[in-house]
Amino acid sequence: MTGADPTTYTFAVPLLLAASYLLGSVPFGVVITRALGLGDLRKIGSGNIGATNVLRTGNKGAALATLLLDSGKGAMAVILAYALGIDFAAPYAGLAAFLGHLYSAFLGFKGGKGVATYLGTLLAIAPLAGLLACASWLAVALTIRISSASALAASVLAPVWLWVVGAPAAIPAVLAMTASP
């Protein structure tokens, strides 16, 4: 849509954001655990719908699939924006997918913590910043062995990594994800 009439954006961006939100709303952890007969994930472990709680079922393959699919939600939203030629909206498409994961339309507007979706968004926007955030997560995880604290540290550092790699336009959307509950 480069050089497109501005009215084109009037329709394309809201549709992109709505589609990204709905994509983010798909609760892959719940879908996978049900499909494998592992029960309702929301009644297991922490009750969260993400990969860490899927791992608590004892099924590493299901946890890995959940991690990949949840991160893929954020990445696909960003990639869709790029494919449509509305690059400026890519970080916000990722944010919409992230919010869909947190407030899933398919789970009564309840959802997960969004760590994997955040990561997928970050990797699609700026792969090097995403890898640096992964390294930050790993460094904290190896030091204190608490996944949630590692995710918090990585998310706080993500805007810094975006700045360092020269992707400052994505910082507002990433800060919104960092500040989300």
In the prediction, which pLDDT does 47 show? Answer: 87
What pLDDT, on a 0 to 100 scale, did the predictor assign at position 39? 87
CA–CA gap between residue 158 and residue 128 (Å, rounded): 11
Output the six-digit token pair for 93. 């498409």
Q: Report pLDDT for 6.
A: 64
Residues 80 and 91: beta-carbon distance below 8 Å: no
Burial of 11-40, coded b for 16+ CB within 10 Å and e otherwise, reads ebbeebbebbbbbbbbbbbbbbbeeeebee
pLDDT tens digits, one per residue of 36-84: 999 899 998 888 899 999 999 989 999 999 999 999 999 999 999 999 9
Torsion from C-alpha of 64, 70, 73, 74, nearest 10 degrees: -110
pLDDT of residue 136: 95
Per-residue pLDDT of the chain (181 residues; tens, 9 = 90+): 555 566 667 889 999 999 999 999 999 999 999 999 998 999 988 888 999 999 999 899 999 999 999 999 999 999 999 999 999 999 999 999 999 999 999 999 999 999 999 999 999 999 999 999 999 999 999 999 888 899 899 999 999 999 999 999 999 999 999 887 6
The answer to whether the Cα torsion of 158, 161, 167, 172 is positive or negative is positive
